[in-house]
Amino acid sequence: MNVLSPRAPGWSRAPRTLRQLLVALLLSALPFLLGPSRAWSQEDLAATLPPVAGLPNAPAPQGTSALSGTVVDQNGGAVRRATVTVTGTNGSAPVTARTNRRGIFHFAALPPGNYTVQVTGAGIESMTPQPLVLAPGQTRQFPVSVTRLPQVTSTVRVTASPVQIATAQVHVEEQQRMLAGTIPNFYTSFEWNAAPMTPKLKVHLALRSTFDPFTILTDAALAGAEQYNDTYPGYGAGWEGYGKRFGATVADSFDSRVIGGALLPALFHQDPRYFYRGRGSIGRRLVYALAQTVVMRGDRGGEQPAYSRIGGAFIAAGISNLYHAPGDRSAGITVRDAFVILAGNAGENVLREFVSRSLTSHRPPGANGKP
């Protein structure tokens, strides 16, 4: 005997709710009976069920009202996952529901009264709240049409000129210091492919380095060492002799940095910075560091003889002869002082290559020398 047949004995006498539940159970078993070729969703199932309270088109429970509808766009297409908000005008808390993939929404068991309906969602223009009146026991259909917003795709490209890039990189290099921020490391570029410096930047960095407090203290210490060893005896002894040595040391530092690090590099289009390599064997890196004393990178790329650095050392040494005592002036002293300047540069390069990176603060993030 088929107990689910409408003609079965006792079927017509079964309560209506029980009959609805039996039909629902039968329909929910259909996907398993029909096999995987027909996948039924909850929405398909809801569309085939007879009206049950809480489902679209269901009658409202006794004394309450129900509201259903479909949200479509300007072209009649269903708007899925839109938020439908129903707010009572008596100050009651709003209730919300989401539309399904067919754009359908449903509210059950709403108290009768005056309401407003609003639809919002991603990609649609928010609908102005619409007034609505629900009578007791009423199940009302409330279709809604909304406007989809046009999808706009924009691409933003941020570009900077080589001068702007070089200025930013030099600004970072001016923050580079070793040993708890005491020793400046302005002339080391950890960016292997750094933008070439403009003449203005070369002069700026030379002056910034010359008048840095640590440079002044170094000049003072060097003058003290010369005083102790009676270097350039023509300056004399005592505070007067120390003052002359200190002034000459500051002048030597200024001449060497400005002429060899700014004026001649601007004239020969060469970059006065040391470009940290950081790759290869120790021997290879050592040869590279020492070679940078007589080799410089050109502003257009590639390496060139270090006309600026070598010329700057000899010019600075020659100028220093002008303010030495007559007995301390000679071509030999000029040559010696020039080689002292170049030897000091070679020593600095070795320290830059093997020591400075681990001790330098404010290094550019991700800058690790030669790729």
- Per-domain residue ranges for the chain? 1-50, 58-145, 162-361
What are 7-26's pLDDT values in tens digits? 444 444 445 555 555 655 55
CA–CA distance, 148 with 73 (Å, rounded to integer): 6
What are 144's two structure tokens?
Answer: 């809604």
Q: What is the pLDDT of residue 38?
A: 40
pLDDT of residue 12: 47
Q: Rg of the chain's alpha carbons, rounded to an integer?
A: 43
| CA 15/CA 11 separation, integer angstroms | 9
Q: Which two tokens stand for residue 188?
A: 């080391």
Given this model, what pLDDT does residue 63 score? Answer: 74
Listed residue (71, 52, 44) closest to 142, CA to CA: 71
Residue whose tokens read 């650095």: 309
- What is the pTM (predicted TM-score) of this model? 0.59
* Per-residue pLDDT of the chain in tens (371 residues, 90 and over written 9): 444 444 444 444 445 555 555 655 555 555 544 444 444 444 444 443 444 434 455 555 667 899 999 999 989 899 999 999 999 888 778 999 999 999 999 998 889 999 999 999 988 988 888 898 988 888 899 999 898 888 776 676 767 899 999 999 999 999 999 988 899 999 999 999 999 999 999 999 999 999 999 999 999 999 999 999 998 888 899 999 999 999 999 998 999 999 999 999 999 999 999 999 999 999 999 999 999 999 999 999 899 999 999 999 999 999 988 887 788 888 888 899 899 999 999 999 999 999 999 999 888 888 889 98
Of the candidates 199, 249, 261, the one whose C-alpha atom is nearest the C-alpha of residue 223 is 249
Cα distance between residue 16 and residue 31, in whole Å: 25
CA distances from 110 to 62, 137, 160, 263, 359 (A): 11, 9, 61, 85, 72
Q: Distance between CA atoms of 56 and 99, rounded to whole angstroms?
A: 11
Q: What's the confidence (pLDDT) of residue 41?
A: 46
* Whole-number Cα distances in Å, 89 to 67, 128, 132, 348: 16, 15, 10, 80
What pLDDT score does 5 carry? Answer: 43
Q: Is the dihedral of CA 221, 340, 260, 168 positive or negative?
A: negative
CA gap 269, 308 in Å, rounded: 9
Residues 340 and 228: their CA atoms lie apart, in Å, by: 19
pLDDT, position 54: 43
How far apart are the C-alpha atoms of 166 and 169, rounded to whole Å? 5
58-145: CATH number: 2.60.40.1120
- 134 forms beta bridges with 113
Q: Are 343 and 309 in contact (CB under 8 A)?
A: no
- Give the span between the Cα atoms of 175 and 172, in whole angstroms: 5
